[in-house]
Each structure stands twice: as C-alpha cells, then as structure tokens.
A and B are shown apart, each in its own frame.
Chain A
Amino acid sequence: MRRKRWYFFFPLFLLAVMAAGCWEGREINERAFVFAVAFDLPENDGWEEGTGAAKEEGAGLEKEEGGLANGGNGEEQALKFTMSIQVPDPSRMAGSQEQGQGGDSGKPFIVLGTTARTVLIGLQQLQREMDRTLFLGHTRLILIGEEVAREYGVDRILDYFIRNFQIQRVARVAIVEGKAREILEQMPPIGQEPTTFLLNLLSGTGRTSQVYVSDLGKYMVENAAIGLEPVLPRVRKSDDAILTGGAAALRHDRLTGWLTPFETRGLNILRNEFVGSDYEVECPFHPGDKINVAVVKTNAQHRLVWEGKTLTLKILVRGVFETTEFTGEHGPQEELSEELTQRVAAMILNETTSALEKARELKTDIIGIGKKIRAEQHKIWQEMDWEEEFPAFPVEIEVKMEWAQTIRRLG
C-alpha cells in the first residue's frame, strides 16, 4: 500500500516542481526586441560614437576598452563596421495614449548605432545604452550596405547570425544600395515601422517577380553550393521612399554587381522562382497600341546535352499568360494568338538572356549551371576551371508560351 502511495505522490511532486513555470522567466517589458540590423562602413576611419537615440541621451560610447574586439596583442585587427539596430518603442505604437508625445521624431521605433569589429561586441556596446536586454530572437531583417558587402564580404557579417540558435533561418537578408542605416530610419508610407513594410516587399507580395526572394537559410544553402553563387535582394532609398526590385550578385561572398529588376525577373524565370508578372507588348495588328499580359507561370527545364564535342546547356522555358488590358480599340481575338504568343515569348527570351548575359559579365554563376554540370557530368566538372569557363559556356534558351485565354470581355 505504501509503495502504491509512493507511485502516486512522487509524480505529483515532480509535476509541482517542474510544471509550475520556466527556469529562467523573462519579463517581456525587460526585453528590447531587435527587429532589424543594418551594417555600413564607418564614415571615418577612426572611432565613431553612438548615434541616434543614444547620441541624444548623451550616452556616447567610449572607445573599446581593450575588450575582445581589440585583440590586445598587436595582431592585425579585423576591419570595423557600423552596426545599427532598430528597436520598436511600444509606447509609440498605434493605440497608445502616448503616441506622438515626447522625443523628437514621434517614430514608433528607435535606431541605435555603434562601430565595432564583430557583431557581438557591437551588441555589447549597444546594450550599454539600453535598460532592457537586447533580444535578437525576433530579428527578421538583416541589411548589409553595399560597401560592406564589397569590402568585407557578407559571410563575416552573417557569421554571428548563423551560429546563434535564436536567429531564425527565415530572417530576410538584403543588400542596400547606399547606406543601410538610412533604410532603418525611413518611415514607410503605410504601417508603423519599416521592418514589416520591407519584409512584405522582400517577400514578393507584389507578385512582380522583380524581387529575388531570399532569406538567411536560403543564402546559406546557395553559398555552400558548389557551382552556384548566391543572390540577395536589393534595397535602396530614393528620396523619401524605400525601393525594392533588383538583386545583388555575390561571388566568394563579395558583392560583384547588381541585377536590374528586369534581369532579376529573368533570373527568377531561369531558376524557377517566378511567381507571375505583368508585361506590356505591342499589338501585332496595330503598331502603337499596347496589350498588357500577365504571365501567370513559367517552368524552366535545364538539360545538358553534347553537341559534337561541346557540352551545352539547353534551357526550355514554358509558360502561360493571360491578356489583361488593351489600349487599342479591340480586345482579345483569335487571330492575335500566334503573333501575340511569339511576342510574349520574345520578351521572356530577352529577359532571361539579359539575366544570363549579366551573370556572364559579372563572372558569377547565379543560375547554377556549374551546379548542374557538377551533379550530372562530374568527370567533366573535375576537369573544368569553372570561374574561367563560365562566361563562355554555351547556353541556349528557348521559350514556348501559351495564351491561357481566360477572357471576361471580347470587345
């Protein structure tokens, strides 16, 4: 009987001890959620003091105190970057009584910045300005300024983020044409803070396919692959707006160049990441009139074939489009079909070819041709110096489009 009681009460005791709560409770108001992080090159070579909110509070940062970043032994030191973080200010979020009160900007977020050699030291420095613990578990956006991407490389910046278990693989990474910090400070035309706004833009919600959708996890996979160079979306500031569209091509984790939005759309088609987009073509029957078409889906089949003694990649793009708008007097007509289909196919071919040409120009295999050769023709691959051979590697693109003819009005 005593034994049975023991079996009953011991689990109850364990439950009472363990189910009562967590080991390390953290109050939510003791945490500062870092939504976004941005990296730039310092304005000057020397030490840069804290900026943004920290500057106003007079909490200027002191020079690194011989800590980890200094190395402290006279060895060659890593280069510095400025690191800015965006932290939401709950008291200024929508619905708050205090909205618009206090402070200079009335923005529902603050941007803090510092200069450091490593991300962790940067965070430690920023922590000295915050009474709340900086928490990166909700960081969804990592912006890297183009100078940093060109001079330091992306891997060095992302090293901290890929090792920290708190950081999610779905965090978006983008290269900023210009200063990354400016993007964090820019108020979006709609919504409360630029992070969510930018996340939506970078997620391709507009379905233009002119944005290369990527995240930390995808970057890691592309970066690790042999015969494929990674691509990250491009972000830039124009007057008072944040613009997306286009992409940054990287080789050996350094920025090699930009793809225009149209080249990016071509790249998305070639890499089967196209999610639909609108095109404007000339009316085959009435020069000057325009017909807008929506290409709803495409599929690119990559095939390696031997043409004599030359290995060639043949890419067959198949796709479906619908007509959406006519500027002339007539609507969809059956006679249009053949000519219109050819014109749309020519546009797609033009775009995909420009993406390929840009990749060749940058000597950066962002299409993954090398990856395919390595997988399917491994012996040939072993004899190749791909970086040298890629620009001249023969690629043939063929496009076949179909008019889905989903028609509401004929006239």
Chain B
Amino acid sequence: MGKTTMFLSSRQIILLILGLSISGGILLFPGRIARVFGTGGWVLVPAAGLLFIFAAWITARLGQLFPGETVVEFSRRLLGRPLGFLVSLVVVLFFLLYIPVEIRILQELVNISILRQAPSWFVSATFLLVLAYATAAEFETLAMVNEILIEITIFVGLLVALLGWRFFDPSHLLPVFSAEELNLAMFWEEAGMILNFIGYPLLLLIFPFVRRPKELPRAAVFAVTLVVLINVFFIVTTFGVFGRNEVAEQAWPGLELAKAVNFEVVILERLDMILIVSWLGAIFTTCFLAYHFAVAGLSRLFNLRSHSPLAWGLAPVIYYLSTILTNYFAWNQWLSYLSALAVIVGVVIPLFLLFVAGLSRWLLGSSG
C-alpha cells in the first residue's frame, strides 16, 4: 500500500469482501452444515449470518471513528504500543495463515479434476508465484482484478446452482427442527465453515483508501448480507437436490452439484469443469487479497517503505506452510484453528476496540 489516495468506491469494497469470503470453502460448506446441523442447517445459517453482519457493521464503524488510519495505527493509539502491536499482528497472522490452506484446496481441486497426477509442488509453487507477483502490484490494481474475477465466479456458481433446481425436491429441506440430526460434537471438526462469513476483517486495513467513509457501514452490511445469502442459496440448492444424508457424505457438495447438473451429450456436458475453472478464480482472489493484506499489515507494522520485497520474501514461508497440510484432514484441522482466529479478528477485536474507543472518548468527555 504505497499510495494513500482514496480510490475505493462502495462497490469495490463490497466486491473485496465478497472476493475474500467466497473461496474454496463454499464448495465444502453444505456438507459441513449437513453433518453438524442436519436438515435444518439451512435455517440456522442466516441466523448465524446475522451475528457476522452485526460484526461487519461494528468493524466499519471503527473505520469511521479513525478516518485515514488502519488497525495498525489506531490500535496503538487505543491500547498502547505493545498491545496495539499484538492486536495488529493477530490481524496480519489471520490473513497470512489463510493463504496456505487455500493453496492446498486449490491443489486438491486441480488434482481431482484437471491435472490428476500433477505434483503438488508444481501446482502450489506456480500458483504461489502468480500470487506473489500479483501482490507486489498496487492495491488499486488488485481491487480492479478482484472486481472482474469475483463477478465471473459468482455468475458461474449461481448458474450451476440454478441449473440444479431441475432436480430440486422441497421435501429434502424438511424436517427443519430435528434434534436427532444435530451433531454439535462435530462442530470443531467442521468449524472451517465460519470462514465463509469472514471476509470483512479486511476493512481494518482499508480505511485510508475509502472514498466515502460515510457509506462504509452500509457497504459492509450489504456485502456480508450478500455473502450470507449466497451461502444459504448454495445450501438450499444442494440440500434440495441431494437431501441432507447424501450431502453429509460428500466432501465437495459444490462440485457434486456441478456434476449432477451435467447435461448428457450436449456442448456443456462437463459443467463441473466450468465451475472448477471459475472457482480457481475465486480461490485466486481470496489468496491474493489475503496475501496483500498480510503484506500491507506487516509493512505498516514495521514501517517498510515498499511492500514488494516482503511479498516475494513471504512466498517461501507460505509454500512451506502449505506443505505441512498433507491431506484433507490436515487442512481441515488447520481451517478449524483459522476459524477460531477469524472469530477473534472478525468479532472480538472490533468489539473490543470499539468498546475501548467509546470508553476513552467518554472518559475524555467527562474530564472536560
């Protein structure tokens, strides 16, 4: 983030939040919901979404209180240098740790569909090179690339889901409240689902670039509402097409949906391939945004003049972290830990900072 010109429009902010939220996780999301919450999960998701919509609004309000500053600066002012540094580091860590797991998801998607025997080092390393190259560019460029890619992904995803409605059976969405299907013991295992809602913490690092700060809370609420609606739509569609039991058995219900809507002997026979190719774009946007905000946060934290060397320098670290996640179970566990971190970054920190900001203002006001 070299320049601090205010270029981000509300539309770009919405798409940035969508770009970070919509990733490989949405292809797994309905399965997680089915396993933990059962058939009624499609009702619980919007309810849970309300919490994150509120948290997004809180985060945006923070930005309004500290115009022209990121979390790195205002957390220091509010909490003092050491604690502020720690809070900023946690935010940066969240973005940084998001990348290896998304790289692994991408690699798995590539291996199960396009290049079955391509070695993981090749897929991960080439993707990471492109990511580092993209991250080295200016934020304004990234915001524009995100605009294009995420719109294409959402369009293709919705198209595939809509085509699935040919097989939709409403009885698959019932019974809504069935205690026998609740399996909360599995929640931690499937906690990665939380990440599907948490793209808005990027607000903590974009306040100085927002063209109209007044519109920020509205844009944030709109973006997260959209994210929730897209997730609910995918869950309702996959549940309606497959039924809860079948979805619970699937590792990639999103992909299975695309496979289910394949047309026999017509031009677009392999819709799953089209979905995968477009979804690689979604993973790319998630990764380069996370990468960028990790690098931008670190640059601000250590007062670096240019973020490009850091972007390239972090690549081997990210690559190493991605190699730790050797299989589905390993990266799934990583996602659970990351979700815990996401709740801290997306809910606890904004609430805490807003509380401290309010308290300090009140104290200043009362002391005259």
Point out residues on A near B: beta carbons under 8 Å: 10-11, 14, 17-18, 22-24, 165, 168-170, 203, 217, 220-221, 224-226, 371-372, 374-376, 378, 382
> Contact between B174 and A376 (Cβ–Cβ < 8 Å)?
yes
Provide the residues of chain B in CB contact with A17, threshold 8 Å.
126
A269 → chain B, closest Cβ, in Å?
17
B337 → chain A, closest Cβ, in Å?
28
CA distance A404 to B118 in the complex (A): 59
Name B243's contact: one of A11, A24, A221, A378 (CB within 8 Å). A221
Write 15 A-B pairs (CB below 8 A) sorted by A numbering: A10-B133, A14-B130, A24-B118, A165-B112, A169-B256, A170-B264, A203-B264, A220-B246, A221-B243, A224-B243, A225-B243, A375-B175, A376-B174, A378-B175, A378-B178
> Contact between B260 and A217 (Cβ–Cβ < 8 Å)?
yes
CA distance A378 to B171 in the complex (A): 12
> A14-B129, A224-B242, A378-B174 are known contacts; what are 7 more A-B pairs with Cβ within 8 Å?
A23-B115, A165-B112, A169-B256, A203-B264, A224-B246, A374-B174, A376-B171
> Contact between A224 and B112 (Cβ–Cβ < 8 Å)?
no
* Total contacting residues, chain B, CB less than 8 A: 28
Centre residue among B126, B130, B262, B264 by max chain A CB count within 10 A: B264
> Contact between B116 and A24 (Cβ–Cβ < 8 Å)?
yes
Provide the residues of chain A in CB contact with B122, threshold 8 Å.
23
CA distance A11 to B129 in the complex (A): 10
Centre residue among A11, A14, A22, A23 by max chain B CB count within 10 A: A23
Centre residue among A18, A24, A221, A376 by max chain B CB count within 10 A: A221
Provide the residues of chain B in CB contact with A225, threshold 8 Å.
172, 243, 245-246
A191 → chain B, closest Cβ, in Å?
14
Provide the residues of chain A in CB contact with B218, threshold 8 Å.
none
> Contact between A18 and B126 (Cβ–Cβ < 8 Å)?
yes
A289 → chain B, closest Cβ, in Å?
42
> Contact between A169 and B171 (Cβ–Cβ < 8 Å)?
no
> Contact between A24 and B262 (Cβ–Cβ < 8 Å)?
no
A382/B180 contact (C-beta < 8 A), A18-B126, A24-B115, A225-B243 known: yes
Interface of B, secondary structure class, is helix
Provide the residues of chain B in CB contact with A24, threshold 8 Å.
115-118
User: Nearest CB to that of A372 among chain B residues?
Assistant: B171
CA distance A168 to B264 in the complex (A): 10
Provide the residues of chain A in CB contact with B256, threshold 8 Å.
169
Provide the residues of chain A in CB contact with B215, threshold 8 Å.
none
Q: Does B61 have its Cβ within 8 Å of any Cβ on chain A?
A: no
Name A23's contact: one of B118, B174, B243, B262 (CB within 8 Å). B118
CA distance A372 to B174 in the complex (A): 9
Provide the residues of chain A in CB contact with B117, threshold 8 Å.
23-24
Provide the B253-290 mask, 1 if CB < 8 A to any CB of A, else 0.
Answer: 00010011010100000000000000000000000000
CA distance A217 to B167 in the complex (A): 11
B323 → chain A, closest Cβ, in Å?
18
The 4 A-B pairs with the shortest beta carbon distances in the complex, nearest first, are A375-B174, A224-B246, A224-B245, A378-B175
Point out residues on B near A: beta carbons under 8 Å: 112-113, 115-118, 122, 126, 129-130, 133, 171-172, 174-175, 178, 180, 241-243, 245-246, 249, 256, 259-260, 262, 264
B140 → chain A, closest Cβ, in Å?
15
User: Nearest CB to that of B117 among chain A residues?
Assistant: A24
Provide the residues of chain A in CB contact with B171, threshold 8 Å.
371-372, 375-376
> Contact between A169 and B246 (Cβ–Cβ < 8 Å)?
no
CA distance A12 to B351 in the complex (A): 46
Interface of A, secondary structure class, is helix
Name B259's contact: one of A11, A217, A224, A376 (CB within 8 Å). A217
CA distance A165 to B175 in the complex (A): 31
A142 → chain B, closest Cβ, in Å?
15
User: Nearest CB to that of A379 among chain B residues?
Assistant: B175
Name A221's contact: one of B113, B130, B242 (CB within 8 Å). B242
User: Nearest CB to that of B113 among chain A residues?
Assistant: A165
Provide the residues of chain A in CB contact with B249, threshold 8 Å.
224
Provide the residues of chain B in CB contact with A165, threshold 8 Å.
112-113
> Contact between B245 and A226 (Cβ–Cβ < 8 Å)?
yes
B74 → chain A, closest Cβ, in Å?
33
Provide the residues of chain B in CB contact with A224, threshold 8 Å.
242-243, 245-246, 249
Provide the residues of chain A in CB contact with B172, threshold 8 Å.
225
A254 → chain B, closest Cβ, in Å?
19
CA distance A17 to B241 in the complex (A): 41
CA distance A221 to B256 in the complex (A): 12
CA distance A165 to B245 in the complex (A): 19
Name B246's contact: one of A221, A371, A376, A382 (CB within 8 Å). A221
A214 → chain B, closest Cβ, in Å?
12
> Contact between B133 and A11 (Cβ–Cβ < 8 Å)?
yes
Provide the residues of chain A in CB contact with B129, threshold 8 Å.
14
A374/B259 contact (C-beta < 8 A), A14-B129, A220-B246 known: no
> Contact between B178 and A168 (Cβ–Cβ < 8 Å)?
no
Provide the residues of chain A in CB contact with B243, threshold 8 Å.
221, 224-225
B153 → chain A, closest Cβ, in Å?
20
A230 → chain B, closest Cβ, in Å?
12
> Contact between B178 and A169 (Cβ–Cβ < 8 Å)?
no
Provide the residues of chain B in CB contact with A23, threshold 8 Å.
115, 117-118, 122
User: Nearest CB to that of A374 among chain B residues?
Assistant: B175
A170/B262 contact (C-beta < 8 A), A14-B130, A225-B245, A378-B175 known: yes
Provide the residues of chain B in CB contact with A168, threshold 8 Å.
259, 262
A11 → chain B, closest Cβ, in Å?
7
A171 → chain B, closest Cβ, in Å?
10
User: Nearest CB to that of A167 among chain B residues?
Assistant: B259
User: Nearest CB to that of B173 among chain A residues?
Assistant: A375
CA distance A375 to B172 in the complex (A): 8
User: Nearest CB to that of B256 among chain A residues?
Assistant: A169
CA distance A203 to B264 in the complex (A): 10
B105 → chain A, closest Cβ, in Å?
15
CA distance A26 to B22 in the complex (A): 34
CA distance A378 to B175 in the complex (A): 7
A172 → chain B, closest Cβ, in Å?
10
CA distance A220 to B250 in the complex (A): 11
Provide the residues of chain B in CB contact with A11, threshold 8 Å.
133
Centre residue among A10, A165, A374, A376 by max chain B CB count within 10 A: A165
Provide the residues of chain B in CB contact with A221, threshold 8 Å.
241-243, 246
A16 → chain B, closest Cβ, in Å?
12
CA distance A184 to B113 in the complex (A): 29
CA distance A375 to B243 in the complex (A): 11
CA distance A376 to B118 in the complex (A): 48
B132 → chain A, closest Cβ, in Å?
10
Provide the residues of chain A in CB contact with B260, threshold 8 Å.
169, 217
Provide the residues of chain B in CB contact with A22, threshold 8 Å.
115
User: Nearest CB to that of B170 among chain A residues?
Assistant: A375
User: Nearest CB to that of B244 among chain A residues?
Assistant: A224
